[in-house]
Amino acid sequence: METIRPLLISLVLVLNGVEILGEDGVLVLDYYKETCPLAEEIVSRNVEIAVLRDPRMAASLLRLHFHDCFVMGCDASVLLDNYGDIVSEKQAVPNLNSLRGFEVIDGIKYLLEEACPLTVSCADILAMAARDAVASRGGRRWEVWLGRKDSIKASFDGANQFIPAPNSSLESLIASFKEQGLDIEDLVALSGSHTFGKARCSSFRQRVYDINIEEKYDRYKRYRAFRRSLQSICPDSGRDNAIAPLDFETPAKFDNRYYINLLEGKGLLGSDNVLVTEDHEGEIRELVWAFASNQELFLTSFADSVVKMGNINVLTGIEGEIRKNCRFVNP
């Protein structure tokens, strides 16, 4: 049965529109079983340590994987520093002074190079670390398909163009995800990553001070207390780097509270709230209700969508390389 299980998983993913790529272009389970048998354990243990030291790091590591995959694919281009002709994606507007966790990835890569030189790619480390980060905060632990290679270039322009902005409209979010081969269910499920972590004032100021019609005529003052709490953190000018939890109720736990918050008008980012306020046909609101009322459904859907996202434009076989240092291409 154990030998059949990976084949069944692969069939399910293919039927759901997920392209599984490994050697000769196919990602596989247990890719490092022979070449670096302790790879997943090394990643898992060090993510656990990093999150114990800084609980916010769990969300940061998941976000690294997301920001990597949405620019040229899941190829660790987001980890490259400025060097030679490379202009780092870290300098792009969505990432500058915002992305965290690079030192954690560096530490994991160092240990993997000690154990198995030039074997485990930085792109695979990001995928495994995202899984372990979610699991460390109560989320589901999914099986990661491995065998990605690392890009030898970065895309500063791509990072500015393809990573959704915190004030995105619903229409632009749907278009952005569609560009990556992700559908509406993926959009709603992956938005649930905002169930933990924090955001800077500059990311949610517009949401705080632009009052929509529903709130303007809110005779029962359902939104006023929440708005005032946000205003106390984020004034209409200054304090751009002040931070607030994406989920005020269970900020360090990976659960379905994010969707309950949306239904209560308490999403932190503009791009969160539009899932409900701009869904005129009701399809997305229906998914939000489903995830809000069934945590297991959300956790399963999230895991499926992350696996799907993790297969965006991956490099395999003779494409790319295995970087010795995740910050630089090999000499």
Q: Which residues are catalytic?
A: 67
Residues 177 and 284: their CA atoms lie apart, in Å, by: 14
DSSP three-state, residue 319: coil
Residue 119 tokens read as: 């074997």
Side-chain-side CA neighbours of residue 82 (13 Å): 4
On whether the CB atoms of residues 311 and 21 are closer than 8 A, the answer is: yes
Burial of 106 (C-beta count, 10 Å sphere; 0-12/13-18/19+): middle
What letter does residue 93 receive in the DSSP assignment?
Answer: T
Amino acid at 281: E
What letter does residue 214 receive in the DSSP assignment?
Answer: H
Side-chain-side CA neighbours of residue 236 (13 Å): 4
Residue recorded with tokens 């999403």: 267
Give 3-state DSSP helix, strand, coil % of the chain, rounded to 5.
50, 5, 45
Residues 62 and 136: their CA atoms lie apart, in Å, by: 11
